[in-house]
Amino acid sequence: MTSHPGGAEALPGSTVVVTGAAQGIGAEYVRAFRVAGANVVAVDLPGALWDDGTGVAGDVTSEADWARIVEHSLSRFGRLDVLVNNAAVYAEIAGKRPLTDITIEEWDHVLAVNARGTWQGIKAVAPVMTEAGGGAIVNISSVVARTGAPGFLHYVASKAAVEGITKAAARELGPRGIRVNAVAPGLVDNESTRVLNSPGYLTSAAQSRSLARPMTPGDLVGTVTWLASPVARFVTGQTVIVDGGQVFG
């Protein structure tokens, strides 16, 4: 018997859109959904396409690109069941800096991708999911929305906005059968976080968890696929913290 993470065994035949899908954590989500038998539309910026026709170049801040993503999903697979709003600006942030040194341009860019991009994705897929009688949306937040993080005010603000968007959208879309949830990861030990954090800081973060080890992208897969699946059919408006027991909340 094939073992699937979370509720992924309930996903065969579903169509899942994953943004920020070309590398890192997003690529892990793509692999997990494909192993589970779902049709995956993997979205990322131009230059990060797949050769099997399921990759779509798209900017999550572009309304026109979102329309094209939805159209691609429907024309290729005939349905759109799940959206994973994973695309975000993090490693591109130019190092930790006091809030007084963050420029308006940087602030606008981070909020545009992380917060507005999440809303635009929900806005784009909601009509299709409504017509189909329901769907599932999983937004990716961060535990820093609760803890704060010095030097990353714009990123923290954007992820707090994601959680607010999740709650408001869940209230509004619930009567249409659309579930909206979020996952708040702790600090994941991968290439992106190593760019902005010292090895000592990553080690300290791992040791501060109840499950005292580094967090990997694979640690998130089960929660995301569970929230996307019908197994979580009565769960909406929630943010699930996945951080190995660093923050209880």
Q: In what order do the strands lie in the sheet with 39-44?
A: 55-57, 39-44, 15-19, 82-85, 135-140, 178-185, 239-242
Is the Cβ–Cβ distance between 89 and 135 less than 8 Å?
no
Catalytic residue among 29, 90, 155, 201: 155
Q: How far apart are CA 41 and CA 58, in angstroms?
A: 11
Query: What is the biggest distance separating any 2 CA atoms in the chain, rounded to whole angstroms?
Result: 55
Q: Could you confirm whether 155 is annotated as catalytic? A: yes
Alpha helices, DSSP H, located in the chain = 24-35, 63-77, 104-111, 117-132, 144-147, 153-173, 191-196, 199-207, 218-228
Is the Cβ–Cβ distance between 23 and 46 less than 8 Å?
no
**Chain-centre distance for alpha carbon 92:** 17
Q: Which residues are CB-neighbours of 94 under 8 A, at least 6 positions away?
A: 106
Q: Cα–Cα–Cα angle for 179, 183, 189, nearest 5°?
A: 155
Q: Provide long-range contacts, Cβ within 8 A and 24+ apart, for 99-108.
A: 99/153, 102/153, 102/154, 106/154, 107/154
* Residues designated catalytic: 155
